[in-house]
Structure 1
């Protein structure tokens, strides 16, 4: 009989832990949803960095083509 009570207590404890984990997950989810719905505060800076990266990639590609073996540098 004592084993039965111990088993029931362990099951109740496990159920309590799962409920706590569920409550924590629900709080995190609410927080994520709130952040997701906000406008990204650095969107303008991100766009500038993307534009700069595009220019750098273009310059690098042009440099590779210009300095490729067999390319006439006098042209």
Structure 2
């Protein structure tokens, strides 16, 4: 919802990640995690209610970007084991 409407209605931004069960449930756990990372990358750092497109300001949301974050995530998980 545009910021002007958020202010007018006195509400904050909310995001929902929706997956299609028929497709998502068939993925292995790693690909499910990659899918969620991809979707989270569409949420701007400001949580403004907007969405980040696949190509924005020279940055891309693509398999390479998702894989980099996924590897970082897995490496950080190892620190907790």
Alignment TM class, shorter chain as reference: under 0.3
Structure showing greater relative contact order (alpha-carbon pairs closer than 8 Å, 6 or more residues apart)? 2
Which is strand-richer, 1 or 2?
Answer: 2
TM-score by length of 2: 0.25
TM-score by length of 1: 0.26
Which is helix-richer, 1 or 2?
Answer: 1
Greater CA radius of gyration, 1 or 2?
Answer: 1
